[in-house]
């Protein structure tokens, strides 16, 4: 059964930060209407909703949100689904929406996500985030996410024989870069903040879970993001600037104790990204920039390796040497990433799509990557429980 | 784009009840392997997993379970999705799996769900269940599910001018029937219990939320359920007794304050069930038995009306008159339903499919509906936030 090309009609994203007065539904709706308003379609063209949220039941007492969302945005009664895949929730939703349109289940759908972790506070937020690891063996042993990635950093230092202090200096450049880019992005949580960090600022910030310090970590964030996608033929009829979905991949893994040293090689990411490259008929060399899941500085480094941009063990050097900055060989997170822009978990995946689409349309005036034609996004749910990659481009798949 | 026929290869269900020693992953895996073992396929034939769970993050500290599940059952790395739609979680998962196979995304997939609400205890369980209503306006006003359906019962009594006491007597027959059937179902939570309730036993049991008493309510349950589905061509190659998916529907609604009197007419169910009937090319007259979401006695009654089996306001009479018993015009819940069998929320949808498939294969020896060829299932998520219907039959769609 043939599949057809799919394109993004419009994208939306709320300001990331603290939204005490907006519900999960409000945040999705705000992002949805931004996406809808640039899509040049009527509301009735939208046949279904794909929504990602991680822990609305814990932060807001709100599960089962799909029906409420369709009601709120004026599409009462249409089929709406909620996906939960920790930080990859709206990336899974986006991929499912893409598959549904590509295979003719629908012609035009809305996708997005929202989350309120800042508003939940650090205690509830940390408890909620910890449910994305193995609830039975890892969380009960006290493992939360800074712990997972502190382990990753130590494993990386050991395996590639880099002294931990030296590695931390290299990691600091991820924070410096992403904060610099977040500080110039008006929708970022840290807009106008931390734009001039130095290595010592990162190393000397508060220890969260050694070796990780405060500036190694992304923040707790409230926010929403959305996209409208449709068949490429439909898209070309209604807008002048479709961005095409060239390929997607998804994989996952069980608990850390089964991953062992594979953890820093991120095997599920390898499976997912190769699935996406294969479908898109591209290689890492064809990619012009990347949206990577930098929940912690070390996370961006190991992702850049598993995605094929650097050899294993060389990603930390690459950021220090400027390869992943705008102007370098493969710019990563020109929107500030999770560290600079913020990480409203269920909204993060489609906010990467938002940033990618704006760049590919040459509309990302704050930090435009020149002549960008193809982008890959990468979203990590939990400690490799879910991995999703999405490849977007300005031309149809060959 | 043409869609193809889809069939169920195998089904599985754990014993419903209390499973303190089994995780959400264990419960799914146990049901999965029962379904797999009767499917006559190899593990590698399964290309994806569709999993439903409602509140694993609150009861077990476990979200992001998809990767853990695929790892556990021996399918490490394959794409797995978790759906959350309150009590309809695994029904949404089943419908999505059906659409994916029908439209050629996959040829063969596993679907199912699991939940541990009994083990969570009444306090955590009630708090968790309440997240399926409107978390912002309804839960904060003190509304939990017995309250929602107590309102429904009072609205029904008022609208159809039936004295509340008289209506409660009629409702009691739902409990008597479903407990009678649950008591003879070895996989039911109340196996060998409450098989001979009288009207006065129901009326005189403890008041939960007036007018609802204990026996008007389904219990808190731990359990898992699963199914393997594939293209009908694939199914016919490997097994002798495929059960076909003839049609599905899904809809939803926002909060109660927007539904008003529509609540007891269950408009989203009407939309969903008509979608399913239309796709299956059948009418209510073609249905031989029904699996209905009887979270409370009144819920079964209003569902039987919106599904087209009785006129609005006549469903309460029908159960009292024996129409919905096995041997009546339209048997409802011959497996005991949620009231007799139990309600492990995320597992309930595919456990309805389990019961339907066993009946249609003439294997439901405890309470077989004679010569049954077509069944419809009905799952309600929250207070009409999500509605899903699935029509199954022993012949391909005409």
B383 and chain A: CB distance < 8 Å anywhere?
Answer: no
Over residues A270-295, the mean pLDDT reads 98
Average pLDDT, chain A: 96
Angle at A20 between CA A16 and CA A25, to 5 degrees: 75
B135 HSE (CA, 13 A, CB side):
25
Looking at residue A53, its pLDDT comes to: 98
Three-state secondary structure of chain B: CCCCCEEEEEEEECCCECCCCCCHHHHHHHHHHHHHHCCCCCHHHCCCEEEECCCHHHHCCCCCCHHHHHHHCCCCCCCEEEECECECHHHHHHHHHHHHHHCCCCCEEEEEEEEECCCCHHHHHHHHHHCCCCCCCCHHHCCCHHHHHHHHHHHHHHHCCCCHHHHHHHHHHHHHHHHHHHHCCCCCCCCCCCCCCCHHHHHHCCEEECCEEHHHECCCCEEEEEEEEEEHHHHHHHCCCCEEEEEEEEECCCCHHHHHHHHHHCHHHHHHHHHHHHHHCCCHHHCCEEECCCCEHHHHHHHHHHCCCCCCCCHHHHHHCCCCCCCCCCCECCCCHHHHHCCCHHHHHHHHHHHHHHHHCCCCCCCCCCCCCEEEEEEEECCCCEEEEEEEECCCCC
Chain B residues within an 8 Å CB radius of A252: 66-67, 70-71, 77, 79-80
CB contact under 8 A, B82 and A78: no
CB contact under 8 A, A96 and B96: yes
Looking at residue B270, its pLDDT comes to: 94
In order of A54, A82, A115, B277, B278, the CA distances from A89 in angstroms are 6, 9, 10, 32, 32
A386 and chain B: CB distance < 8 Å anywhere?
Answer: yes
Backbone angles phi, psi at A9, to 5 degrees: -90, -40
Kindly tell me if the per-residue pLDDT of A256 is higher than 90. Answer: no
CB contact under 8 A, A78 and B103: no
CB contact under 8 A, A68 and B271: no
Q: Which of A59, A71, A79 to mutate to probe the B interface, most B CBs <10 Å? A: A79
DSSP state string for A48-89:
-EEEE-S-HHHHSS----HHHHHHHTT-TTS-EEEE-BTBTH
CB contact under 8 A, B67 and A253: yes
Residues in contact with A206: Cβ distance below 8 Å, sequence separation at least 6, in sequence order = A213, A214
Residue B75 CB coordination number (10 Å): 19
A71-129 pLDDT per residue, tens: 999 999 999 999 999 999 999 999 999 999 999 999 999 999 999 999 999 899 989 99
A87 is catalytic: yes
Q: Report how far residue A174's alpha carbon sits from residue A169's, in angstroms, rounded to the nearest whole number.
A: 10
Q: Which of A50, A60, A61, A382 to mutate to probe the B interface, most B CBs <10 Å? A: A61
Out of A130-139, A314-323, A388-397, B55-64, least confident range: A130-139
Can you give the length of chain A in residues?
398
Which chain A residue is nearest to residue B134, measuring alpha carbons? A62
Kindly tell me if the per-residue pLDDT of B208 is higher than 90. Answer: yes
Looking at residue B257, its pLDDT comes to: 75
Catalytic residue among A173, A179, A293, A343: A343
Looking at residue A348, its pLDDT comes to: 98
Environment class of B123 (CB within 10 Å of its CB; exposed 0-12, middle 13-18, buried 19+): exposed
| Catalytic annotation, residues of B | 87, 343
Chain A residues within an 8 Å CB radius of B383: none
CB contact under 8 A, B67 and A139: no
pTM above 0.90, yes or no: yes
Kindly tell me if the per-residue pLDDT of B388 is higher than 90. Answer: yes
pLDDT band at B134, cuts 50/70/90?
confident
Place of tokens 């995946």: A349
Pairs of CB atoms within 8 A across A/B:
203
Q: Which two tokens stand for residue A214?
A: 């405060």
Q: Which two tokens stand for residue A258?
A: 């089964």
Which chain A residue is nearest to residue B258, measuring alpha carbons? A71
CB contact under 8 A, A255 and B68: yes
A356-371 pLDDT per residue, tens: 999 999 999 899 999 9
pLDDT band at B6, cuts 50/70/90?
very high
Looking at residue B244, its pLDDT comes to: 98
Q: Report how far residue B387's alpha carbon sits from residue B299's, in angstroms, rounded to the nearest whole number.
A: 13
Which chain A residue is nearest to residue B4, measuring alpha carbons? A1
Q: Report how far residue A380's alpha carbon sits from residue B65's, in angstroms, rounded to the nearest whole number.
A: 14
Q: Report how far residue A228's alpha carbon sits from residue A226's, in angstroms, rounded to the nearest whole number.
A: 7
SS3 for B123? Answer: helix
Q: Report how far residue A252's alpha carbon sits from residue B165's, in angstroms, rounded to the nearest whole number.
A: 54
Place of tokens 């009654």: B301
pLDDT band at B258, cuts 50/70/90?
confident
- Residue B125 parent element (H or E): helix B121-130
ipTM of the shown complex:
0.96
Domain boundaries, chain B: 6-121+220-393
Q: Give the rounded percent of residues in chain A with a pLDDT score beyond 70.
A: 100
Environment class of B298 (CB within 10 Å of its CB; exposed 0-12, middle 13-18, buried 19+): buried
Looking at residue B230, its pLDDT comes to: 98
Q: Which of B73, B77, B98, B250 to mutate to probe the A interface, most A CBs <10 Å? A: B77
Chain B residues within an 8 Å CB radius of A85: 64, 66, 81-82
- Residue B250 parent element (H or E): strand B243-251
Residue A214's Cα: distance from chain center in Å? Answer: 20
Interface of A with B in 6-65 (CB under 8 A): 23, 25, 54-58, 60-65
Kindly tell me if the per-residue pLDDT of B147 is higher than 90. Answer: yes
Looking at residue B1, its pLDDT comes to: 72
CB contact under 8 A, A384 and B104: no
Over residues B364-368, the mean pLDDT reads 93
Q: Which of A63, A133, A134 lies closest to B86 in CB terms?
A: A63
Would you give the DSSP letter of residue A2? -
Kindly tell me if the per-residue pLDDT of B2 is higher than 80. Answer: yes
Q: Which of A25, A68, A83 lies closest to B83 in CB terms?
A: A83
Residues in contact with B103: Cβ distance below 8 Å, sequence separation at least 6, in sequence order = A1, A100, A103, A104, A105, B1, B3
SS3 for B393? Answer: strand
Over residues A211-239, the mean pLDDT reads 98
Q: Report how far residue B394's alpha carbon sits from residue B398's, in angstroms, rounded to the nearest whole number.
A: 12
Out of A1-5, A192-196, B179-183, least confident range: A1-5
pLDDT band at A390, cuts 50/70/90?
very high
- A188, A230, A181: which is closest to A35 by C-alpha? A230
pLDDT band at A234, cuts 50/70/90?
very high
Can you give the length of chain B in residues?
398
A273 and chain B: CB distance < 8 Å anywhere?
Answer: no
Q: Report how far residue B5's alpha carbon sits from residue B324's, in angstroms, rounded to the nearest whole number.
A: 30
Chain A residues within an 8 Å CB radius of B105: 99, 103
pLDDT band at A213, cuts 50/70/90?
very high
- A297, A331, A296, A301: which is closest to A314 by C-alpha? A301
Return the higher-pLDDT residue of B2 and B306.
Answer: B306
Looking at residue B213, its pLDDT comes to: 98
Chain A residues within an 8 Å CB radius of B80: 252, 386
Superfamily designation of domain A6-121+220-393: Thiolase/Chalcone synthase (3.40.47.10)
């Amino acid at each position: 059964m043939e599949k057809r090309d799919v394109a993004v009609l419009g994208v939306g994203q709320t300001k990331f930060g603290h939204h005490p007065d907006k519900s999960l539904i409000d945040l999705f709706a705000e992002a949805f209407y931004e996406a809808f308003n640039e899509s040049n379609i009527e509301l009735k063209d939208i046949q279904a909703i794909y929504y990602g949220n991680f822990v609305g039941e814990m932060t807001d007492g709100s599960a089962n949100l799909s029906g409420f969302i369709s009601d709120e945005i004026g599409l009462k009664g249409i089929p709406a689904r909620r996906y939960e895949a920790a930080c990859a929730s709206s990336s899974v939703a986006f991929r499912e929406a893409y598959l549904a349109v590509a295979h003719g289940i629908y012609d035009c759908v809305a996708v997005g996500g929202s989350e309120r972790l800042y508003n939940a506070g650090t205690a509830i937020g940390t408890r909620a985030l910890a449910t994305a690891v193995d609830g039975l063996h890892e969380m009960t042993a006290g493992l939360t996410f800074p712990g997972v990635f502190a382990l990753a950093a130590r494993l990386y230092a050991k395996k590639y024989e880099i002294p931990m202090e030296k590695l931390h200096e290299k990691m600091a450049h991820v924070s410096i870069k992403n904060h610099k880019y977040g500080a110039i992005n008006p929708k970022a949580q840290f807009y106008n903040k931390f734009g001039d960090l130095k290595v010592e600022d990162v190393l000397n910030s508060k220890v969260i879970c050694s070796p990780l310090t405060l500036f190694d970590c992304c923040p707790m964030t409230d926010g929403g993001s959305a996209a409208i996608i449709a068949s490429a033929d439909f898209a070309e009829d209604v807008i002048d600037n479709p961005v095409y979905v060239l390929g997607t991949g998804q994989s996952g893994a069980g608990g850390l104790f089964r991953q062992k040293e594979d953890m820093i090689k991120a095997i599920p990411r390898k499976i997912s990204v190769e699935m996406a490259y294969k479908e898109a008929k591209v290689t890492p060399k064809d990619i012009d920039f990347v949206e990577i899941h930098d929940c912690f500085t070390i996370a961006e480094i190991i992702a850049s390796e598993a995605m094929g941009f650097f050899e294993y063990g060389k990603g930390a050097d690459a950021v220090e040497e400027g390869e992943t900055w705008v102007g370098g060989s493969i710019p990563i997170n020109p929107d500030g990433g999770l560290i600079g822009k913020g990480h409203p978990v269920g909204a993060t995946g489609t906010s990467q799509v938002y940033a990618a689409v704006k760049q590919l349309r040459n509309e990302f005036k704050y930090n435009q990557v020149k002549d960008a034609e193809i982008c890959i996004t990468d979203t990590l749910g939990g400690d490799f429980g879910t991995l999703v990659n999405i490849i977007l481009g300005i031309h149809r798949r060959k």
